[in-house]
Amino acid sequence: MDEKEELIRQLIKEKGGTREQYETIMDSIAYHESAGTNDPKLSQYGGGPGRGVYQFEEGEGQGGITAVRRAKEYYNDLGKPVPKWVSENAKGTSLDASKLSRDQQDILF
């Protein structure tokens, strides 16, 4: 089972809902935040700090690094192995989400 699927199953176990509901929510927000492109490599138009389909802001203490650190904490709280890409990115002071795959961005979301 891949990381995203495992995480969605955990969320359903904890909070209820269905896989389809989680996918619909993520797709709707990604569509809106990416101006309808759904491009995981998107940089905010006009040079702003938003990156990726969810427009996580890069920069010290911004949304990107906060999201990856929260993901690491969540995996630790569950007692599950932290994916290497999460651990590596959590060490930094900023995260450029446009360098992550769509599934990785979904996990951070």
Tens digits of residue pLDDT in 50-80: 999 999 999 999 999 999 999 999 999 999 9
Give the torsion sign (CA, 86, 107, 46, 38): positive
Rg (CA), the chain: 14
For residue 1, what pLDDT is reported?
Answer: 64
Distances (CA, A) of 87 to 27, 41, 75, 84: 25, 21, 10, 5
What is the rounded average pLDDT of the residues 37-55? 96
CA distance 65 to 19: 26
For residue 67, what pLDDT is reported?
Answer: 98
